[in-house]
Amino acid sequence: MDAAVPDLLHATPMTRIDMDATQLALTLAFASGVSGGLFAESLDRARLAPSTWQPESFAADLFLSQFVGACFKIRAAGTAPLASVTHLVRVLSRPPSDVRSVEHRRAIVGELASNAGLRSSLEKLYVLLNRFRTLLEGARGAGWDLNRRQLDILQAGGEIIECMAQDFVTARSGLSRLALFGQRVMAGEPYQSLCDLLRYDENLATLDLKVGVGADGRIRGFRIVAVETNERNPFVTSTWRRWLAKLELFVRGFQFGDGEVMARLIDAVFEGIQADFVPLVQLLGDVEFYLGALGFAEVAQAAGLEVCLPDLVNPMERLRLEGLFNPLLLSMGMRVVPCNLTIERHDTTTLITGPNSGGKTRLLQSLGLTQILGQAGLFIPARAGSIALCPALVVSLIQETKADQAEGRLGVELVRIRALFERLPRGAMVILDELCSGTNPSEGEEIFELVVRMLTMLTPQVFITTHFLAFAETLQKERRIAELRFLQVELGANHEPTYQFVPGVAKTSLAGHAAARLGVTAEQLMALIEKNLSKLDATAHAG
Amino acid sequence: MGTFLTNPRMNRALAERVRASLRTGRSRGARVDKRLTAALRLVSLVGIVGALIALSVLRKHADDQLEHARAALLDTATKKRAQLSSDDLQTLDRLTTVLLHAPGPYEGDKLANEARGAGALSALLERPMIYVRGPEEAFRSDETLRRAALLSYADAFVRCLVDPPRTRTEKAYLERIRQASETDAPAARVHRLYDLVAGLPLLQTPWRDKVKAATELRELTSLDSELHMAKLDETIAAARARLVLFVMDESSAPTGLSELDGERAHDVRVTLFDLEQHAPLLRLRRHVDPAAFSDRGRASRATALDACALSLDVRDATTKGDTTTEAAR
């Protein structure tokens, strides 16, 4: 296994950040202390493994950024540092095409979830990485000792390497790369020189003292018994040689002093080790990815929900999701009702019907996020379940009206449908909310049937909500499209939605219930009119 | 290129990076390129070293000049001193002892046998001698004696004594005085006390120590001037003299008249002292009075006329040998 880069995201390790640019930024940050967000910029511009997914097809409709910001809560050593949302969204929205990388990530997540020691080590590593980042990116104040700062950076880097080499030896998943990387670096001369320099900084010599104490208990004096210099340290030299070194620096145009000698040694040590420090920038993003996923599990657990690593199945196998919930609701403080979903196979088109505010759109969001998380190799928002990996995800949940749009609502929808067919590969997942709702039902139903019929030719996983109840019932009865499946919102005893989904087509949208709940019945509207008129009359009399 | 920042215990790769840091690294807090800084420092260093070298060369040159001058000075002094015996070097001390004893009560006239008789004085005057004349106060301390020595020279008394006038007339006196002033020959054997006082200390150890201790050329130049102004040949000749002729003018009555040159009637003690035997060969006390001379002679040469007359008195006394003191003895 290549231990050159401790890549935790891909089965085949790859360098995703721009090493040259990052190394230059690292060098500048080390020298000046002002890097301007070295880590964030480098991670945001990092390459990702090949992916067939296009984030613009789903990220905004699924509120992916909000989901990451709200649910990928990283906790490490009692602190809650802010993760790089941009980087996490990029990684989540571009799942690797290589299934081995998905398995690679699932193995790491599984090991972290089952091994508290490794998770603790990863959190420790994250804290060290953040300290390293803070030291590098921290602004330099007046009177700052530059040598001390750089020694602190070197020490922080050394601790990271040591943590990687020692704390992940027992890992069996891709985390073992951390140990391999750390051990490789520790075996090298640059790391040995770094340790020697830090020891030289901390312990040039050891003095044996005898302290004289008077009758009153106060220290009256001390005597040096012996002086022992650390002769094995290559940085330790005799006093006269240090003086000559200072003189040499002065002649060469440097400042005269011990600080300048130390500066040259620090530069030499950093020059050697910096190439091993650059991958730490990428590693920070990787660690955030996994700790964020673990944080998501904890957020769900805090709400009484469970997450799981789904089974990866063939699209022709049964779709089964138990305890599926919408993670977007977690951050809203709303009651989250998990549901179970079972469909006889993944590569089918499912029409979902039910009353307004019955949870259809929330279900679509849950399915989309589940696919994203599952395909990224992370926990899905369900107690148990399976997913079939797909080459693309297209989601159309939001129909915003724009000031510059040339078409009406139906026109916009039709343009999106055309765009969908332009780039949709075979086996993709398609999620559409209220298809063709922008025109009269009779004409809309024709387009609806056309779209569904065409979609089935690409054997995708399709989930569509609709209020064309009669049309849906006809499709069900006549079985005009064999691949169609039907789910409806389950209603309770009082025709209230239970937010569960069962096979079949809903009989009513219960619009009257929604109108009554929102105050749009005839009596309620009449009462409002009478109230406004009497108020206007009173104003006229007063005038 | 080697550097003191590395050592043999360092890994070669690390040592190479240290060297690279020296080549390409930037100095902490430096705003100017380190090569420019190094160049400025080198120029400054070369300037300072150059100035130090120039200063050293100049200092060496000055030291050489100083030592050369010192050596020359000491050499001159040594050569001059080599011409003197240890007795010669004691002449001044002996003489001073005698002169400072002179102002006491007059011990009476005296003529030693060597000074008695015709031609005896002339024979004595053929020997080198030191001459000094001054008022009684001049013989009371080293300082006053030194001042008297400065003012004293081979005057009319000495010249008339060595080469007396033919007759005891004012005209003969004046003739002799004029002749004496035109030639120094008669006074060649008579040396000024000042020649001894001024020059002899320069040939002795304290003055050599001053030369050796001098740290600046200016001091040596001053000492050199002192040496050359001292007329050491005269000093040497004076130091070899064993006779001292001194004339002490006693104080006169305050009521007496003074001539234009200050001369007045007063008593004068004349002593010729043998320093080797530490005994006076001649000691006389005579009265001088310019009143015996013409107004014209007194106006221009009263002191010289008195001195010339006094010299004849001395000569007469030695010729006749009629001193009461000697007779009494």
SS3 content of chain B, % helix, strand, coil (to 5): 60, 10, 30
Instruction: Give the C-alpha separation, B1 to B137, whole Å.
Output: 88
- Count how many pairs of residues, chain A against chain B, have C-beta atoms within 8 Å: 89
> Which residue among A190, A237, A267 places its CB closest to the CB of B25?
A267
Of the segments A172-186, A486-500, B253-267, which one has the largest average pLDDT value? Answer: A172-186
pLDDT tops 90 at residue A338: yes
Of the segments A91-95, A139-143, A257-261, which one has the largest average pLDDT value? Answer: A91-95
pLDDT tops 80 at residue A404: no
Q: What is the CA radius of gyration of chain A?
A: 32
Cβ contact, residue pair B7, A253, below 8 Å: no
Instruction: Give the C-alpha separation, B207 to B42, whole Å.
Output: 50
Q: In 3D, which of A343, A344, A326 has the Cα closest to residue A335?
A: A326
| Bridge partners, A206 (sequence order) | A228
Instruction: Output DSSP code: residue B141.
Output: S
**Dihedral sign, Cα of residue B210, residue B215, residue B220, residue B223:** negative
Cβ contact, residue pair A271, B9, below 8 Å: no
Mean pLDDT of A20-29: 91
Residues in chain B: 329
pLDDT number for residue A406: 63
Contacts of A245 in chain B (CB under 8 A): 3-5
pLDDT number for residue A508: 74
Cβ contact, residue pair A264, B10, below 8 Å: no
Average pLDDT, chain A: 88
**B44 touches A at CB < 8 Å:** no
CA A306 to chain centre: 19
| DSSP symbols for B278-327 | TEEEEEEEEEE-GGGS-HHHHHHHHHHHHHHHHHHHHHHHHHHT--HHHH
Cβ contact, residue pair A251, B5, below 8 Å: no
What's at B296, amino acid-wise?
A: R
pLDDT tops 70 at residue A36: no
pLDDT number for residue A219: 86
DSSP element (H, E) containing B135? strand B129-135
pLDDT tops 50 at residue B329: no
d(CA B65, nearest CA chain A) in Å = 38
**B27 touches A at CB < 8 Å:** yes
Cβ contact, residue pair A234, B14, below 8 Å: yes
Cβ contact, residue pair B29, A252, below 8 Å: no
Contacts of A31 in chain B (CB under 8 A): 26
Of the segments A273-282, B38-47, B255-264, which one has the largest average pLDDT value? Answer: A273-282
**B17 touches A at CB < 8 Å:** yes
Q: How far apart, in Å, are the Cα atoms of B175 and each of A94, A318, A523, B252, B261?
A: 145, 169, 175, 28, 19
Cβ contact, residue pair A264, B21, below 8 Å: yes
**A271 touches B at CB < 8 Å:** yes
pLDDT number for residue B326: 34
- By mean pLDDT, which of A242-246, A375-379, B176-180 is the weakest? B176-180
Which residue has tokens 């005799």? A238
Cβ contact, residue pair A248, B38, below 8 Å: no
| Cβ contacts of A299 within 8 Å, gap of 6 or more | A70, A71, A73, A327, A330
Of all residues in chain A, the percent with pLDDT exceeding 70 is: 93
pLDDT tops 80 at residue A181: yes
Dihedral angle, C-alpha A231, A236, A238, A239, nearest 10 °? -130
- By mean pLDDT, which of A162-166, A243-247, B93-97 is the weakest? A243-247
Confidence of residue B18 (pLDDT cuts 50, 70, 90): very high
Of all residues in chain A, the percent with pLDDT exceeding 90 is: 53
pLDDT number for residue A254: 84
Contacts of A146 in chain B (CB under 8 A): 28
Segment 203-232 of chain A within 8 Å of chain B by CB: 232
The interface predicted TM-score (ipTM) is: 0.75
Mean pLDDT of B103-131: 90
Describe the strand order of the beta sheet including A429-432 as a list of residue ranges: A393-396, A429-432, A461-465, A349-353, A484-491, A497-503
- By mean pLDDT, which of A357-371, A451-465, A519-533, B42-56 is the weakest? A519-533
Instruction: Give the C-alpha separation, A349 to A87, whole Å.
Output: 33
Dihedral angle, C-alpha B107, B110, B113, B116, nearest 10 °? 170
Residue A128, Cβ density class (10 Å: 0-12 exposed, 13-18 middle, ≥19 buried)? buried
Q: In 3D, which of A324, A332, A329 has the Cα closest to residue A487?
A: A324
* Tokens (6 digits) for B269: 């003690």
> What are the tens digits of pLDDT across the range A433-462?
888 776 677 778 888 888 888 888 888 899
Mean pLDDT of A121-141: 88
> Which residue among B14, B18, B22 places its CB closest to the CB of A252?
B22
Q: According to DSSP H, which parts of A322-440 are helical?
A: 360-375, 409-423
> What are the tens digits of pLDDT across the range A289-330?
999 999 999 999 999 999 999 999 999 999 999 999 999 998
Q: In 3D, which of A105, A108, A80 has the Cα closest to residue A92?
A: A105
**A142 touches B at CB < 8 Å:** no
pLDDT number for residue A37: 81
**A268 touches B at CB < 8 Å:** yes
> What are the tens digits of pLDDT across the range A107-125?
999 999 999 999 999 999 9
Q: In 3D, which of A472, A510, A477 has the Cα closest to residue A491?
A: A510
Average pLDDT, chain B: 87
Cβ pair A142, A126 in contact under 8 A = no
Q: Which residue has the higher pLDDT, A260 or A400?
A: A260
pLDDT number for residue A526: 82
* Tokens (6 digits) for A247: 């003189």
Confidence of residue A142 (pLDDT cuts 50, 70, 90): low
* Tokens (6 digits) for B79: 């050569």
DSSP element (H, E) containing A501? strand A497-503
Instruction: Give the C-alpha separation, A227 to A205, whole Å.
Output: 7
Of all residues in chain B, the percent with pLDDT exceeding 90 is: 53
pLDDT number for residue A430: 94
pLDDT number for residue B209: 94
Q: Which residue has the higher pLDDT, B295 or B134?
A: B134
Cβ pair B190, B173 in contact under 8 A = no
Q: In 3D, which of A177, A83, A185 has the Cα closest to residue A126?
A: A83
In chain A, which residue's Cα lies nearest the Cα of B16?
A268
Q: What are the φ/ψ torsions at residue A385 (nearest 5 degrees)?
A: 165, -175
Mean pLDDT of B220-237: 89
pLDDT number for residue A76: 81
Cβ contact, residue pair A272, B4, below 8 Å: no
